[in-house]
Chain A
Amino acid sequence: MYEFKYHRPSTVRQAANLLIKNEDAKLIAGGHTLVPVMKQRLAAPPHIIDLSHIEGVDGIEMKGRSLVIGALAKHANVAASPIVGEAIPALAELAGLIGDPAVRHKGTIGGSLANNDPTADYPAAVMALGATIVTNKRKLKPEEFFQGLFTTALESDEIITKVSFPVPKKAAYIKFRNQASRYALVGVFVARLPSGVRVTVTGAGSDGVFRVEAFEAALQKRFSPKALDGLTVPAEGLNSDLHGSAEYRAHLIGVLAKRAVEAANNRA
């Protein structure tokens, strides 16, 4: 790891000012992506700004019809939260599938979204539920926020403060784990919202999370696994690596989508 100067702001505003003042500074939340990356010397920020001691940004609450989760909320807290379990059980389940218990005690939703790893779990939920990502500067829809592999719309002095999830009528997430890394080899999130059905896929897309509109249209007509019979996703553009070929991933998307619809129906 290369040297850096450590800063510990106590408010989001202080953190934003530190980002403006210190060129190439990096925020740290749970550190469970950034520390490994710095150890490998793939990142060498001269300044580290620790968000983890800012109070009041890790809350979980219902605001009207939306579930609002603070950016610093840890995966373990989302997984165990009765509020999340009641409003969007699929989201609690997803958080409980991230990494292992020790990772879930440190990793945060804000860090996961800012990182936009193409095999991360949260992006699938945020995109499927049409959640709003709130920063110190503005509100972003998932389609604007996620901009491809490890890339987001976040500006250099922008900090995610919370994520607001509309509560779906039905939802489920099915993850096919990479046995070694525990990240998603493929994960499919299905949500039935008042505004329509959304199906998103993580782990498979070479540009990160994406929607499967053909599946959405079929499920819109009939929200049943049978509605997906005969429908497939083209392998073209999907990841292909030692863990699975693009064809294998394409096949998994179809299988997992059916399982997710079934799980969503069984829950309601």
Chain B
Amino acid sequence: MTVLPRNGARTKRVHMAKISMIVNGNPVTGNIDPRTLLVQFLRENLRLTGTHVGCDTSQCGACVVHLDGKAVKSCTTLAVMADGHEVKTIEGLAADGAPLHPMQEAFREHHGLQCGFCTPGMIMTAVDLVHRKGHDLSDHLIREELEGNLCRCTGYQNIVASIAAGAKAMAKSDLA
């Protein structure tokens, strides 16, 4: 990951930027170095560590979150560019302690993960896919749409099965 000075450790020359956005339904603010990536802001400032950094080079999709409802790679998005916008992370899919989101439940049920590192990005990508393409997804389409998400463990078979099942379950759920 890009090494940045943390809050407080900055030199005077840095032009800080004030930002505010809605994250998982809650208004948040920050006074950040403009270099801060959205994923860093989420993980390091807000301590929402469900969003992962797998590659830091826009390839693996472990960092996928929703920006204004669309799946994006938060390692390739500057936090300042999300100022004034709405972000949803894996933590925002279902309330703490409440039943899991149907896509999360489907990954559990169909064993769509092994180490789990890629899972937050897989699930956020899958939910965006359902929003765009509906609840009846062919395996072929799911595989095409997972172009930007890498998993080093599962071999994808169960991920594809989880997404197909999760997409169907979402039709019957109140959780978006």
Contact = CB atoms under 8 A, between A and B. Distances in A.
Q: Which 4 A-B pairs have the closest CB atoms?
A: A100-B148, A100-B147, A6-B34, A105-B70
Nearest to B83: A8
B141 to A, nearest CB: 11
A5 interface: yes
Interface of B: 2, 4, 13-15, 17, 33-35, 37, 56-58, 61, 64, 67, 70-73, 76-78, 80-81, 83-84, 125, 128-129, 132, 145, 147-149
15 contacts: A1-B35, A3-B15, A4-B34, A8-B80, A8-B83, A31-B81, A32-B58, A32-B76, A36-B57, A36-B58, A36-B76, A39-B2, A48-B78, A101-B71, A102-B125
Nearest to A1: B35
Contacts of B73: 102-103, 106
Contacts of B14: 3
A50 interface: yes
Q: Which of B73, B76, B80, B125 has the most CB of A within 10 A?
A: B76
B157 to A, nearest CB: 19
A31 B78 contact: yes
A102 B35 contact: no
A214 interface: no
A28 interface: yes
A86 to B, nearest CB: 20
Nearest to A47: B15
A267 B34 CA distance: 47
Interface of A: 1-6, 8, 28, 31-32, 35-36, 39, 48, 50, 52-53, 76, 99-103, 105-106, 182
Given A6-B15, A102-B61, A102-B64, A182 B147 contact: yes
Contacts of A32: 58, 76
Contacts of B64: 102
Nearest to A106: B72
Contacts of A53: 84
Contacts of A99: 147-148
Contacts of A6: 15, 17, 34, 78, 80
Given A3-B33, A48-B34, A105 B2 contact: no
Given A102-B71, A105-B71, A106-B72, A3 B81 contact: no
Contacts of B145: 101
A226 B80 CA distance: 54
A99 B34 CA distance: 26
A76 B33 CA distance: 30
Contacts of B2: 1, 39
A104 B175 CA distance: 25
Q: Which of A35, A53, A76, A102 has the most CB of B within 10 A?
A: A102
Nearest to A48: B34
A205 B64 CA distance: 33
A32 B15 CA distance: 23
Given A6-B17, A8-B80, 11 more contacts: A1-B2, A1-B35, A3-B34, A6-B15, A6-B78, A39-B2, A100-B61, A102-B72, A103-B148, A106-B72, A182-B147
B128 A101 contact: yes
B61 A39 contact: no
Contact of A31 (B35, B70, B77): B77
Given A52-B81, A76-B70, A99-B148, A106 B76 contact: yes
B91 to A, nearest CB: 19
Nearest to B69: A105
A96 B25 CA distance: 31
Nearest to B74: A102
B14 to A, nearest CB: 6
A99 B71 CA distance: 13
A223 to B, nearest CB: 30
